Amino acid sequence: MSINNLKPGSRATVFGFNQGSCTYKQKLMSMGLVPGAEFIISKLSPVNDMVEIFINGFSLILRRSEAEILKIDKVCM
């Protein structure tokens, strides 16, 4: 599942990475998006092609198209 399938406010966990830029993947991991990490989608902005997520107590913005590299699972609440 990709980050873009989720609605704002939903929780998800990372379970892996798709093929893609190694630097980008490492940067995501240094921000805490390692397999097993849980985050909340705070905002999806298709007009700006942005997604804002809340992880480990801070907000992060990613481009929606680039964030496709994250394989995620939705967490049921």
Partner 1 sequence: MKKIALLGNPNCGKTTLFNALTKKRNKVANWAGVTVEVATAAYSKNLEIIDLPGCYSICHADTSGAIDEMIAANYLFNNKVDFIVNIIDSSNLVRSLYLTTQLLELELPTIIIVNKVDLLKNTTINIESLAKSLKPYAIISACTNDPKDIINIKHMLENKMLNTQKQKLKPILCFSDEIKNCIEKVQQSLALDEAEITASKQAIAINILSGNKIKNIKTESLYNTLDACRKKLQIESQEDMDIVIAQARYDFIKSIMPKIEIKQKTEKENDPVTKRLDDILTHKYLGIISLMCIMYFLFFFALSTASSVQQLFSNIGEVFLITGTATILNKLNSPDIFNIFLIHGLGQGITTLLSFIPIVFTMFYSINFLEETGYMPRAAFVTDRLMRILHLPGKAFIPLLIGFSCNVPAIIATRTLETKRDRIIAGIMTPFMLCNARLAVFAIFASTFFPTYPSVIIFSLYITGVIVAIITGFILCRFIIPGDIQPLIMELPPYQIPKQKTIIANSLTKTVKFCFRVGKYIVGLSGIISILSSVSYEYHGATKTLLEIIGANITPMFNGIGVSNDNWPASVAIIAGIVAKETVIITLSQLYNGSLNNITTLPSDFWAYAIDNIQNSFMLLVPFYKASHNEINSSLQANLKMFFTNNSNVIAYLFFNLLYMPCISTIITFAKETNWRWAMFSATWSLSIAYLIASLILKLTNMATENILVISVTVIAIALNIIISKRIAQKEIKNESGHEFNSN
CA distance 55 to 48: 21
Range 47-66, binding partner 1 (CB under 8 A): 47-50, 52, 54, 56-63, 66
Residue spans of alpha helices (H) in the chain = 22-30
- Single out the residue of 1, 8, 9, 16 in contact with partner 1 (rule: CB under 8 A): 16
Pick the closer one to partner 1 by CB: 71 or 74. 71
Instruction: Tell me 74's DSSP state.
Output: E
Asked if 68 contacts 5 with a C-beta cutoff of 8 angstroms, the reply is no
| Contacting positions for partner 1 (CB under 8 A) | 16-17, 21-32, 34-37, 42-43, 45, 47-50, 52, 54, 56-63, 66
